Amino acid sequence: MTPVPLARPVSVAGPRVDATGAIIAQSGGFTVTAAYPTPAPMGADVAGLRANGNVYINAGENLVDNGVLAVVALQNTVDQNGDTITNGRAPGADSNPEFSGEIAAAMCQPTIVNCAPPGTGNTNHPVVSPRNSDGSVTTADTRKRFYVVVTGSSTS
């Protein structure tokens, strides 16, 4: 079977984000707008500036024709539950938090995916929502590193 050529060039780009919500490596042009609980200064719109357990990334360009994916990165050098077992072999369900977690990602799109922090309610911002395996919001002790992949044509 002969492969069908793509109608337009496709590129893949994205950042690698650490457990604090900071970009530690990237293909270029990405910045973090808000990450995890980020309290606002006194007197400011506290609710609006909080990331509510999510990470909001500015891609530096419109992502309307792009796909956004995220994946949790393994981190077997961090003992997240204090059992000194970081090889994923602790017996019992949910006994290996270093090897677990969930993540969802989407482009911010008013009326489809609402994004709360100021300046993120547009198609330049993907939102990444890391969660524990039970779906609960991660805390400073349970957060994981993750990768974000943006596919599609780039306008830059």
With a cut of 50, say whether residue 62 has pLDDT above it: yes
**16-60 pLDDT per residue, tens:** 999 999 999 998 899 999 898 765 555 555 444 568 889 999 999
In a domain, 52, yes or no: yes
Backbone dihedral region for residue 93 (phi beyond 0: left; psi -120 to 50: alpha; all else: beta): beta
Number of domains in the chain: 1
**H-only helix segments in 40-92:** 46-49
**Residue 136 placed within a domain:** yes
CA 100 to chain centre: 15
What gap in Å lies between CA 15 and CA 57, rounded to an integer? 9
Q: In terms of pLDDT, which residue wins out, 48 or 114?
A: 114
Examine the pLDDT at 151 and tell me if it is beyond 80.
yes
Q: How many other CB atoms are there within 10 angstroms of residue 57's CB atom? A: 30
SS3 state at 98: helix
Whether 16 maps to a domain, the answer reads yes
Give first-to-last CA distance, the chain, whole Å.
Answer: 34
pTM of the model: 0.83
